[in-house]
Amino acid sequence: MAKLTNPCPCGSNRNFSDCCARYLERNEPAPTAEALMRSRYTAYTLLREDYLLATWHSSTRPSALGLAEEVPTQWIGLQVKRHEQPDAEHARVEFVARYKINGRAHRLHEVSRFVLENGKWLYVDGKIE
């Protein structure tokens, strides 16, 4: 669990308590698709499968992720490249997430799609770039 006074893993340069904790710990809805994407990245760093599944649209959500059973991933950085919201209920966020598995560096470059449903942004899916 991230300490509330630690820098937020999402790369916002704010303390966890002032950033993603409000979504992960206090169940506030993320105000934008970018904020949701950042909080989902933070959830991956904290192995918060419950949050990831709760913020995943029901049409594409898996039944489980099995994060605890996977080879440990060391998340080392997030860069948001672009956030577009073509209308009130749809958005795209392009990002690059850097991580290591067994000491080997990897990067995930994705354009994610989000939808606003019942006042909450939800992750739909992503295209790997």
Half-sphere exposure of 19 (CA within 13 A, CB side): 24
Look at residue 2 and tell me whether its pLDDT is greater than 80: no
* Sheet of 73-87, strand order: 73-87, 90-101, 104-117, 120-128
Please state the rounded mean pLDDT for residues 6-19.
94
- Whether 10 shows a pLDDT value over 60: the answer reads yes
Tell me which of 2-6, 63-67, 101-105 is least confident.
2-6
Which pLDDT belongs to residue 55? 98
Please tell me the distance from the alpha carbon of residue 58 to that of residue 80, in angstroms, as a whole number: 25
Q: Which of 63, 8, 18, 14 is nearest to 41 (CA)?
A: 8
CATH number of 16-128: 3.10.450.50
- Whether 29 shows a pLDDT value over 90: the answer reads yes
In the predicted model, what is the mean pLDDT of residues 78-100?
Answer: 97
pLDDT at 7 over 60: yes
Q: Note the pLDDT of residue 40.
A: 98
Task: Give the rounded percent of residues in the chain with a pLDDT score beyond 90.
Answer: 91
